[in-house]
Amino acid sequence: MTKENRTLTDFINNRMQRMQYTFSKEEALEETNMTNNSFKVAASRLKRGNKLIRPRGSFYVIVPPQYQRRGAPPANLFIDDLMDFLGKTYYVGLLSAAATFGAAHQMPQEYQVLVKKQIKNIVIKNLRVVFIQNKHLEEMPVTEINTEYSQITVSTPEATAIDLVYYDHRSGYLDNVATVLKDLSEKMSPEELLTATKNYHNLASVQRLGYILDSIGEKELCEPIHEWISTQTPSRVPLSTQETKRDGARDRKWEVIVNYELNPD
């Protein structure tokens, strides 16, 4: 088939055969020789048929047949390509990272992506991608994970653990954080956890993480953190930052004021 008579459907089918599920409008125009108007009409028709979504600008995602009833594919199908298209550094984090490591009791309702500067969230049909600002993005340990469709950048289990505590309001609050940490702890090493926490930008969150890990019986995992914290002359901090109550029993090991009783599942 010549370039001159290729349709957008032809172009999409060809990309799917090559396991490529994203493209820009500019790529499609170049490869099909369609006019801007004909592309717009064809793309609109395919979007109505749940065969195509447009998460941002001129960036399009092909919806594989198995996801067309839902109206959108999972975010891990396109997130790496999208962030490359936007020229943004990122990592999948929090509950979405925990789920990647098999440490979520239920799939998160939103796909959580950490970025250095805030950008607009994506909401299409049942797909919700939430971008969360982390000004210290470059300091976070990350790893590359292969998914069914692509490779994505994810915070390491240890970095995920400390982020879950710092962003507990985005992680289902402390009870859920403790629940997730029970499973995530199986993926963590004391050495890597110490490295992640020593370089973290918020010492209070490290103290809270240590207390939570201690509370769920992960003493071996958090002992190196305690030894390091004891050299840092930490300030006393409340366990929960969400509670108006700021007083409670003092845990001298972690210098945490226990103003909330943990109830993990």
Tokens of 146: 């292969």
* DSSP annotation of 56: E
Please indicate, yes or no, whether residues 113 and 241 belong to a single structural domain of this protein. Answer: yes
Whether the pLDDT of residue 188 is over 60: the answer is yes
Last residue of a domain, one of 26, 43, 67: 67
Please indicate, yes or no, whether residues 79 and 153 belong to a single structural domain of this protein. Answer: yes
Range of the domain at 51: 3-67
Please indicate, yes or no, whether residues 199 and 100 belong to a single structural domain of this protein. Answer: yes
Tokens of 231: 């050299």
Which spans in the chain are helix H?
Answer: 8-17, 25-32, 36-48, 79-86, 94-100, 157-166, 173-184, 190-198, 203-215, 219-229
Query: What's the CATH number where 23 sits?
Result: 1.10.10
Last residue of a domain, one of 67, 96, 118: 67
Please indicate, yes or no, whether residues 26 and 134 belong to a single structural domain of this protein. Answer: no
Question: Residue 5: pLDDT band by 50, 70, 90 thresholds?
Answer: low
Please indicate whether residue 115 or residue 247 has the higher confidence score (pLDDT). 115
> Which residues on adjacent β-strands are paired with residue 250?
257
Separation between Cα atoms, residue 28 and residue 31, nearest integer Å: 5
Distances (CA, A) of 109 to 76, 179, 209, 232, 253: 14, 17, 24, 38, 36
Tokens of 119: 């950008």
pLDDT value of residue 1 = 42
Please indicate, yes or no, whether residues 130 and 210 belong to a single structural domain of this protein. Answer: yes
**0.85 surpassed by pTM:** yes
Please indicate, yes or no, whether residues 200 and 94 belong to a single structural domain of this protein. Answer: yes
pLDDT value of residue 253 = 97
Please indicate, yes or no, whether residues 37 and 102 belong to a single structural domain of this protein. Answer: no
User: Which distant-in-sequence residues (6+ apart) come within 8 Å of 180 by Cβ?
Assistant: 95, 98, 103, 104, 105, 164, 171, 172
Last residue of a domain, one of 51, 67, 83: 67
Whether the pLDDT of residue 148 is over 90: the answer is no
Please indicate, yes or no, whether residues 158 and 129 belong to a single structural domain of this protein. Answer: yes
Report the candidate in 160, 21, 194, 185 with the shortest Cα–Cα distance to residue 91.
160
Please indicate, yes or no, whether residues 130 and 228 belong to a single structural domain of this protein. Answer: yes
- β-bridge pairing 256-258 and 249-251: antiparallel
Please indicate, yes or no, whether residues 61 and 116 belong to a single structural domain of this protein. Answer: no
Q: Give 72-128 pLDDT, tens digit per residue.
A: 999 999 999 999 999 999 999 999 999 999 997 777 889 999 999 999 999 999 999
pLDDT value of residue 132 = 98
pLDDT value of residue 3 = 46
> How many domains would you assign to the chain?
2
* DSSP annotation of 232: S
Please indicate, yes or no, whether residues 62 and 171 belong to a single structural domain of this protein. Answer: no
Report the candidate in 1, 33, 30, 29 with the shortest Cα–Cα distance to residue 14.
1
